[in-house]
Amino acid sequence: MAFGGGALSVTHSNRPLERGVLFTGFEPSGDDHASAVIAELRQRQPDLPIYAWGGPKMERAGATIVERTGESAVMGLPGVGKIIEHMGINRRARRWIRQGRASLHVPVDSPAANFPICRYSKRRGLRVMHLVAPQIWAWGRWRIRKLRRCTDRVLCLLPFEEGWFLARGVSARFVGHPLFDEPLDEDGLARRAEEIEREVEAISRSYRKGIGPRLRLGLMPGSRPSEIRACFPVLLDAYRRLQADFPDTTGVVAATTPEVASRLREIAQTTDHGGGGGWPRGLHVVIADTDAAIRWCDFALVVSGTVTLQIARQFKPMVAMYRPGWLVYQLLARWLVTTEHFTLPNLIAGRRIIPELIPHFGDGEALAVEVIKLLRRDGYADDQRVNLRAIASMFDGTNAARAAADEIERLLGLRATNSGTAPSVAAGLRNGRSVGAASAEGEQGQGAHAVSDPVDDRE
């Protein structure tokens, strides 16, 4: 049985490994990324054994779940309970790997949780392919040596990452981002945006006066409990300030789940976010339909993360912010993070194309000011739309799920290995001012500037 052009891996007991695939993901974003790849593999290789430490989407896509994960993801430093939990997961994963039921390990996101399992997989003779590149380019660059030792290939979701990893001796390929795998349903989005408009009209007609511009604001508060708790009051404050200046302002909050929607209402009721607590007038909630909320709005107030790419895909002007834990930021992040920009559009562009307030420890005034600039400064919003369109075009012709499935088949010996290097957008960016190029120039002795973008490493 060929394996990537070489002999099939064997365990330390010299028993051949079975040709199976093990996915390990520990966050909802990992469940999203892996499920699309698993579904593609299932379609191509119906008899291929696929196992996962993963969530419900991986299971629905066709993986056999060894253990359910992703229901208590955290940002920042994990607590003692989370550390103990992952120590137990590591022990159980090692026991499972020793059974020899997989010859390829695909870690997804969560590098801190996955690195120990990757090291053990390599020791037992498995190949390792990272689905979603660890954000070593953002912080903790000493980890590149660890990554070299515990991976055979890194699949990159962002255009600049391939060149960055290749320059540091890590086999990498830009495959695109899952957000861009399927074209937008323009008719469906228009219909759902009209439905949102009817709902907003119903809750706002009693107070709107028809004086001045009517702002349609999209509020994107994130999905993790910690970031919602820290950042949503700031978005609410910005919304209230804009409504005070423009009385006909209305808004839509994009909640990822009904549970998140309930939590957002609780926060609004218990937090003084400018003008007192309570749910602001004219603010509607949309559940599990972020794309429709983006289509409806004129401008977006967004907690930095993968959603900034969703907004960029529709060329909607935005203002991004993120409030990290103050102590974590002061003690660690400000010294460890080495990127000049933190939101995904700015990272990909290698320059500031959207306003980003990161870290932000203030109220909503600065966000409101940026929205007023978008509204009133000539060309400000249009320039952002043009730049976002250019960012979105970098993903043209990519399909992350298909490309990842191709790489898995190659590593399993189920697909011929290409003799040349696969073309990618990243190849055209290596001489540009992307974060990869800028980081390479400043890597020696460069200090940190601010907290990194919390991307579905999600981020």
Q: For 369, what's the count of Cα atoms within 13 Å in the CB-facing half-sphere? A: 7
Bond into 107 cis (ω within 30): no
Q: Are residues 121 and 444 in contact, defined by beta-carbon separation less than 8 angstroms? A: no
Please report, for residues 10, 18, 39, 114, 417, the alpha-carbon distance to residue 412 in angstroms, rounded to integers and kept in the order given: 13, 10, 17, 21, 10
The first and second tokens of residue 164, run together, are: 């960055």
Which residues does 359 contact at the CB level (< 8 Å), separation at least 6?
322, 323, 324, 329, 333, 450, 451
Are 135 and 232 in the same domain?
Answer: no
Are 368 and 408 in the same domain?
Answer: no
In a domain, 254, yes or no: yes
Are 135 and 47 in the same domain?
Answer: yes
Are 167 and 202 in the same domain?
Answer: no
Residue type, 391: I
In a domain, 455, yes or no: no
Bond into 178 cis (ω within 30): no
Q: How far is CA 375 from the centre of its chain?
A: 28
Sheet holding 299-303, edge to edge: 283-287, 250-255, 216-220, 299-303, 318-321, 356-357
Q: How many domains does the chain have?
A: 2
Centre a 10 Å sphere on the Cβ of residue 194 and count the other Cβ atoms it contains. 13
The pLDDT of residue 58 is 97
Which residues does 26 contact at the CB level (< 8 Å), separation at least 6?
53, 69, 70, 73, 86, 109, 110, 113, 114
Are 98 and 213 in the same domain?
Answer: no
Are 25 and 172 in the same domain?
Answer: yes
Are 386 and 406 in the same domain?
Answer: no
Are 190 and 123 in the same domain?
Answer: no
DSSP annotation of 331 reads I
| Residue 285: closest CA among 192, 238, 219 | 219
The first and second tokens of residue 236, run together, are: 């609410």
Which residues does 32 contact at the CB level (< 8 Å), separation at least 6?
57, 178, 456
In a domain, 11, yes or no: no
Q: Are residues 289 and 193 in contact, defined by beta-carbon separation less than 8 angstroms? A: no
Provide the whole-model pTM: 0.82
Which residues does residue 51 pair with via DSSP β-bridges, in sequence order?
A: 22, 64
In a domain, 420, yes or no: yes
Are 166 and 257 in the same domain?
Answer: no
CATH code (residue 106)? 3.40.50.2000
Are 76 and 155 in the same domain?
Answer: yes
In a domain, 450, yes or no: no
Q: Which domain holds residue 275?
A: 186-323+360-393
Are 113 and 160 in the same domain?
Answer: yes
In a domain, 13, yes or no: no
Tens-of-pLDDT digits for all 459 residues of the chain? Answer: 333 344 345 445 556 688 999 999 998 888 999 999 999 999 999 999 999 999 999 999 999 999 998 765 444 445 566 678 778 899 999 999 999 999 999 999 888 899 999 999 999 999 999 999 999 988 778 899 999 999 999 999 999 999 999 999 999 999 999 999 999 999 999 999 999 999 999 999 888 877 767 899 999 999 888 899 999 999 999 999 999 999 999 999 999 999 999 999 999 998 875 556 799 999 999 999 999 999 999 999 999 999 999 999 999 999 999 998 766 655 665 545 667 888 999 999 999 999 999 999 999 999 999 999 999 999 999 999 999 999 999 999 999 999 999 999 999 999 876 533 334 433 343 333 344 333 333 333 333 223 333 333 333
Strand 318-321 to 356-357 pairing: parallel
Are 48 and 134 in the same domain?
Answer: yes
In a domain, 375, yes or no: yes
Residue type, 329: Y
Q: How far is CA 320 from the centre of its chain?
A: 14
Residue with tokens 């006066």: 209
In a domain, 139, yes or no: yes
Residue 440 has phi, psi (to 5 degrees) of -65, -40
